[in-house]
Structure 1
Amino acid sequence: MPKTPNRRSILGAALAVPAAAAAGNLIAATPAAAAGIVADAWTDLVLEPGVTAQAGATPQVRLITIADTTFLQARGAITCNLAADAKVATMPAGLKPTWYVRAATPRNNSQGINACRFEVNTAGSVSVYGANAGNPITWVQFDSVQTIWR
């Protein structure tokens, strides 16, 4: 009786063809800049009194456009002592959204809460929400902020 191929070898052969085609497409792909990605330079946020940049982590923002959609990206971290929702910074000149921009971002872990809301209003004020007297925010990291800019 002739030997028939097992299912594993048939599946392996079937998957090899699309994988080879995909690899060829990746090799021929254009660089990011040619594919419609435009990233502005990082610009420092203007911090409010009592809010300081963590060493080596100056809070900054930039706009990045991918396929005709513009995003706000942030990086850096602040040290603060917030017992209520508060303005922590102002956007650089010329960067004001047409509507509220919001994202969740890490903060000090207190009572099991380790995230807060990062928000930019139409005046360019950057605020942090989620602090209260029993659960103060002592630091916030902005590296996770990437949200659609309106």
Structure 2
Amino acid sequence: MSQNRRSILGAALALPAALTVGAVATAAPAAAVAGGVEAGEWVDLVLEAGITPTAGATPQVRLVTIAGTTFLQARGQITGSLTADTKIATLPAAFAPPTWYVRAAAPRNNSQGINACRFEINPAGSVSVYGGNTGNPITWAQFDSVQAIWR
């Protein structure tokens, strides 16, 4: 009798899975639903004096809208010796600043076990990097992983 119960239970559990697989296989891609994806052009950040872009990796930002929600994406890398929280750039004039602070973690040189810094854009359009100090300067920071909701 336990054999029959297992068979019945197995069949009962397999049915919703089969229905779900069928629904997923015939579903429309996310981009085709509720507004799609709109990606803006990459725009160079206006770097502050003393901030050097890594060759071939000029810091840039763009806005991407997915199903009605807008995200900031960044890419590129800077080098230097940031020994304090530092303004590294400004958004270009054509790029509207956010209505609130936009923050994300970004990889940096691994020093004393610290390998990330804070990337931040304030409502005035200033781009800053936080986390460097005289005992543990940021010698490079990379922004390819920066993605945040744009407000």
TM range (shorter): 0.7 to 0.9
Aligned residue number for residue 97 of structure 1:
98
Shift of 1:14: 4.4
| TM, length-normalised to structure 2 | 0.82
Query: Bigger CA drift: 102-111 or 51-60?
Result: 51-60
Read off the aligned partner of 2:27 and give its amino acid letter.
Answer: A
CA pair 78-97 structure 1, distance change in 2 beyond 3 A: same
- Rounded Cα–Cα distance in structure 2 between residues aligned with 1:82 and 1:17: 59
Shift of 1:91: 1.5
Shift of 1:106: 1.1
- Rounded Cα–Cα distance in structure 2 between residues aligned with 1:90 and 1:56: 20
- Rounded Cα–Cα distance in structure 1 between residues aligned with 2:72 and 2:62: 6
The correspondence for 1:30, drawn from 28, 31, 43, is: 28
Query: Bigger CA drift: 113-122 or 37-46?
Result: 37-46
- Rounded Cα–Cα distance in structure 1 between residues aligned with 2:10 and 2:46: 56
- Rounded Cα–Cα distance in structure 2 between residues aligned with 1:96 and 1:73: 14
Alignment gaps of 5+ in structure 2: none
- Rounded Cα–Cα distance in structure 1 between residues aligned with 2:140 and 2:12: 52
**RMSD of aligned residue pairs (Cα, Å):** 2.3
Shift of 1:125: 1.0
Q: Residues 60-89 of structure 1: CA distance to partner in whole angstroms, max 9, x if unpaired?
A: 211122232211111222212111111111
Shift of 1:10: 6.0
Kindly tell me the number of residue pairs found equivalent between the two proteins.
148
- Rounded Cα–Cα distance in structure 2 between residues aligned with 1:49 and 1:66: 35
CA pair 46-19 structure 1, distance change in 2 beyond 3 A: farther
Aligned residue number for residue 118 of structure 2:
117
Percent of residue pairs bearing the same amino acid type: 71
Q: Secondary structure of 2:55's match?
A: coil
CA pair 83-19 structure 1, distance change in 2 beyond 3 A: same
Alignment gaps of 5+ in structure 1: none
| TM, length-normalised to structure 1 | 0.83
Q: Secondary structure of 2:41's match?
A: coil
Q: Secondary structure of 1:41's match?
A: coil
- Rounded Cα–Cα distance in structure 2 between residues aligned with 1:57 and 1:23: 42
- Rounded Cα–Cα distance in structure 2 between residues aligned with 1:11 and 1:110: 56
Shift of 1:5: 4.9
Shift >6 Å, 4+ stretches: none
Aligned residue number for residue 60 of structure 2:
60
Shift of 1:122: 1.2
CA pair 109-19 structure 1, distance change in 2 beyond 3 A: same
Q: Secondary structure of 1:55's match?
A: coil
Q: Secondary structure of 1:61's match?
A: strand
Aligned residue number for residue 49 of structure 2:
49
Aligned residue number for residue 39 of structure 2:
39
